[in-house]
Amino acid sequence: MPLAEGVELKEIWIKNFKSLKDVKVRLGEFNLLIGPNRSGKTNFLEALELLKAVYFPRPGEVNPFLRWWGYDRVVWRRDESLPITIGLSLAMAGRDVKFEVTFTGIGGKFALLKEVVEVNSTVRLEKVGSVLKIKHDPEFLNRGLKEAEENERVKHLISSIRAKSELANYSVDIRGKGTLLKDVIYSLTEISLENVSILYSPAKRPWLRGILLLSPNVDFGKQRTSFIMFIRNKLLDLLNNILVLKAVEPRKIKEVVSRPAKEKTLTSDASNLHNVLYNLFMENRAKMPPRIEKAIKDIFGPDVYVSFMLTEDGRIFMRVYEGDMPLDPPMISDGFYKALVVLTAIETRPSILVIDELENALHPKAIQRLIDELKNAGCTVIAVTHSPAVVDIVDPEDIVLVDRDEEGATVMKRVEDPEALKRKLAERGITLSEGWLYGRIA
Partner 1 sequence: MAGSLEAFLIPEDTYGASFLKALVNRLKAEGLLPPGVNIVKDWKLPGRCRPKLERMVKAAYDDYDRIIVVADAEGRDVRGVRKELEIHIPDFCRPKVRIIILDYCIEEWVCVGLGVRFGENPVRALKDYLRKQRGAKTDYHKYMLPDFVPELDLDRLSSYGSFREFIGALMP
**With respect to partner 1, which residue has the nearer C-beta, 158 or 384?**
384
Decide if residue 373 touches partner 1 (CB under 8 A): yes
Decide if residue 432 touches partner 1 (CB under 8 A): yes
**Quick one: which segment of 47-55, 74-82, 208-216, 390-398 binds partner 1 (CB under 8 A)?**
390-398
| Displacement of CA 10 from its chain's centroid (Å) | 11
d(CA 431, CA 442): 14
Q: Which of 6, 264, 431, 437 binds partner 1 (CB under 8 A)?
A: 431
Decide if residue 157 touches partner 1 (CB under 8 A): no
Instruction: Write the CA distances from 248 to 20, 358, 392, integer angstroms.
Output: 23, 10, 24
**Quick one: which segment of 132-140, 352-360, 405-413, 427-435 binds partner 1 (CB under 8 A)?**
427-435
CB neighbour list of residue 328: distance below 8 Å, 6 or more residues apart: 319
Quick count: other Cβ atoms within 10 Å of Cβ 154?
A: 18
Decide if residue 363 touches partner 1 (CB under 8 A): no
Decide if residue 263 touches partner 1 (CB under 8 A): no
**Nearest distance from residue 299's CB to partner 1, in Å?**
9
Q: Of 56, 343, 21, which is closest to residue 179 (Cα–Cα)? A: 56
**With respect to partner 1, which residue has the nearer C-beta, 85 or 433?**
433
| Displacement of CA 22 from its chain's centroid (Å) | 19
Q: Which of 173, 376, 405, 407 binds partner 1 (CB under 8 A)?
A: 376
Site for partner 1 in 123-152 (CB under 8 A): none
**With respect to partner 1, which residue has the nearer C-beta, 124 or 424?**
424
Beta strands across the sheet bearing 399-404: 242-245, 352-355, 380-385, 30-34, 399-404, 410-414
Decide if residue 108 touches partner 1 (CB under 8 A): no
Residue 188, Cβ density class (10 Å: 0-12 exposed, 13-18 middle, ≥19 buried): buried
| Beta-carbon-side half-sphere exposure of residue 360 (alpha carbons within 13 Å) | 19
**Quick one: which segment of 232-240, 257-265, 271-279, 294-302 binds partner 1 (CB under 8 A)?**
294-302
Q: Of 257, 261, 271, which is closest to residue 337 (Cα–Cα)? A: 271
Decide if residue 393 touches partner 1 (CB under 8 A): yes
**Quick one: which segment of 7-15, 50-58, 185-193, 369-377 binds partner 1 (CB under 8 A)?**
369-377
**With respect to partner 1, which residue has the nearer C-beta, 350 or 396?**
396
**With respect to partner 1, which residue has the nearer C-beta, 172 or 391?**
391
**With respect to partner 1, which residue has the nearer C-beta, 144 or 396?**
396
**With respect to partner 1, which residue has the nearer C-beta, 319 or 424?**
424
Q: Which of 2, 105, 329, 396 binds partner 1 (CB under 8 A)?
A: 396
Decide if residue 426 touches partner 1 (CB under 8 A): yes
Decide if residue 327 touches partner 1 (CB under 8 A): no
The H or E element that residue 169 is part of is strand 169-173
Decide if residue 418 touches partner 1 (CB under 8 A): yes
Decide if residue 295 touches partner 1 (CB under 8 A): yes
Decide if residue 335 touches partner 1 (CB under 8 A): no
Please list, residue by residue across 294-306, b when 16 or more beta carbons sit within 10 angstroms of its beta carbon and e when fewer do: ebbebbbeeebbb
Q: Which of 98, 155, 164, 422 binds partner 1 (CB under 8 A)?
A: 422
Decide if residue 340 touches partner 1 (CB under 8 A): no
The H or E element that residue 351 is part of is none
H helix and E strand count, the chain: 13, 21
Decide if residue 4 touches partner 1 (CB under 8 A): no
Q: Which of 369, 374, 385, 411 binds partner 1 (CB under 8 A)?
A: 369
Q: Which of 59, 94, 221, 429 binds partner 1 (CB under 8 A)?
A: 429
Please list, residue by residue across 370-393, b when 16 or more beta carbons sit within 10 angstroms of its beta carbon and e when fewer do: bbebbeebbbbbbbbbebbebbeb
**With respect to partner 1, which residue has the nearer C-beta, 406 or 427?**
427
Decide if residue 417 touches partner 1 (CB under 8 A): no
CB neighbour list of residue 176: distance below 8 Å, 6 or more residues apart: 129, 130
d(CA 158, CA 149): 8
Decide if residue 29 touches partner 1 (CB under 8 A): no
CB neighbour list of residue 67: distance below 8 Å, 6 or more residues apart: 49, 50, 53
Residues that bind partner 1 (CB under 8 A): 290-291, 294-295, 298, 365, 368-369, 372-373, 376, 392-398, 418, 421-422, 425-426, 428-432, 435
